[in-house]
């Protein structure tokens, strides 16, 4: 059963009717702490995140399932679904148990408005998953060595969830291309974003933007969210290699984006000039996300980069 159906049926079993909107399932806050006519409680359709805008409860499906006495998603359940969707794979994956991916040729044409030339630089591949969906697939290389793949949907307009198929947990994308652009332009500046599409939108207008592929990960049996350590060490190694002096974070205007900005700022501010910008608020979703940010906003990032 796809994760979305699993979650909806679990909710139905306790009389909650979830309304699907894109990647979110919206329900009235089930925690009983406040009135909620909005509804304010959102559950990612893959269970990776739940959040109430009313009482600020946050976590993942299993946190909510525990409170409502519903079925949890097992690690295996997650993995199966994530494999099917080519989504984030946690670094708890045991070695030697990695997914095989066979790209079916190079991608030709644009993707969600990203120019063909930009996609060819990475380079982009096409792949059909087990369900016959087309994916756009990118090798993630670090100093010439391929560390895995990351992917996006081709036929659906939704933003892909982040990682995929990597040997070493999360690593920034597209590391080698950004490295090359930084050396070539010599501007001593770097932009950090969350997702592949965010990075590609900026690279498309000649701004080297590195996607950290998700702000947070939840470690098993811990309630603490952390940034994967290899992300930070790779960013610092790239900055050293390219003489980067200023780093600007452009994360989404939501709770993880705010926490990520604070974390990166705190960690980098002593060694770099650290700046941050959030995309303008999006009335429809009540937040601002880089993937949907208007071109003028992207242009303002480019202006900072080139000045
Ligand atoms: Zn609530």
- Write out pLDDT tens, residues 68-117: 999 887 655 444 444 444 333 333 333 233 345 667 788 888 888 899 88
Q: How far apart are CA 170 and CA 214, in angstroms?
A: 8
CA-closest candidate to residue 44, choices 20, 67, 25, 18: 25
Q: Would you state the CATH architecture of domain 82-306?
A: 3-Layer(aba) Sandwich (3.40)
Low-confidence ranges of the chain (pLDDT < 70): 1-2, 74-102, 129-133, 155-170, 214-229, 283-286
Distance 293 CA to ligand 1 centre (A): 27
Distance 53 CA to ligand 1 centre (A): 6
Q: Work out whether the CA dihedral 225, 229, 233, 234 comes out positive or negative.
A: negative
210 contacts 193 by C-beta, under 8 angstroms: yes
Distance 50 CA to ligand 1 centre (A): 11
Distance 4 CA to ligand 1 centre (A): 21
pLDDT at site 306:
92
Distance 76 CA to ligand 1 centre (A): 29
Distance 20 CA to ligand 1 centre (A): 18
Say which CATH class 3-73 falls into. Answer: alpha beta
149 contacts 166 by C-beta, under 8 angstroms: yes
Q: How far apart are CA 232 and CA 214, in angstroms?
A: 13
Distance 42 CA to ligand 1 centre (A): 10
Contacts of 82 (CB under 8 A, 6+ apart): 46, 88, 89
Q: Write out the DSSP string of 15-38.
A: T---EEETTEEEE--TT-SS--SS
Q: How far apart are CA 285 and CA 307, in angstroms?
A: 32
Tell me how long the chain is.
Answer: 307
Domain ranges of the chain: 3-73, 82-306
248 contacts 301 by C-beta, under 8 angstroms: yes
Distance 225 CA to ligand 1 centre (A): 20
Distance 43 CA to ligand 1 centre (A): 12
């Amino acid at each position: 059963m796809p994760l979305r159906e699993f979650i909806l049926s679990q909710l139905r079993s306790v009389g909650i009717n979830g309304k699907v909107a894109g990647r979110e399932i919206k329900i009235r806050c089930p925690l009983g702490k406040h009135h909620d006519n909005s509804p304010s409680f959102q559950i990612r359709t893959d269970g990776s995140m739940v959040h109430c805008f009313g009482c600020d409860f946050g976590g993942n499906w299993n946190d909510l399932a525990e409170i409502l006495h519903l079925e949890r998603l097992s690690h295996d359940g997650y993995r199966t679904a994530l494999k099917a969707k080519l989504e984030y794979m946690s670094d708890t994956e045991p070695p030697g148990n990695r997914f095989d991916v066979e790209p079916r040729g190079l991608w030709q044409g644009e993707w969600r408005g990203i120019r063909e030339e930009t996609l060819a630089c990475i380079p982009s591949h096409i792949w059909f998953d087990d369900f016959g969906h087309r994916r756009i697939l990118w090798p993630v290389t670090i100093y010439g060595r391929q560390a895995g793949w990351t992917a996006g949907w081709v036929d659906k307009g939704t933003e892909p969830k982040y990682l995929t198929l990597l040997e070493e947990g999360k690593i920034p994308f597209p590391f080698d291309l950004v490295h090359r652009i930084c050396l070539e332009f010599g501007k001593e500046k770097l932009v950090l974003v969350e997702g592949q599409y965010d990075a590609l939108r900026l690279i498309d207008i000649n701004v080297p933007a590195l996607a950290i592929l998700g702000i947070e990960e939840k470690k098993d049996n811990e309630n603490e969210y952390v940034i994967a350590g290899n992300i930070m060490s790779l960013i610092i190694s790239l900055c050293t290699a390219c003489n980067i002096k200023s780093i600007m974070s452009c994360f989404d205007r939501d709770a993880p984006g705010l926490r990520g900005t604070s974390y990166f700022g705190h960690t980098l501010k002593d060694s770099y000039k650290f700046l941050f910008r959030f995309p303008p608020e999006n009335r429809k979703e009540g937040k601002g996300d880089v993937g949907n940010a208007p071109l003028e906003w992207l242009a303002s990032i480019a202006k900072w980069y080139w000045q």
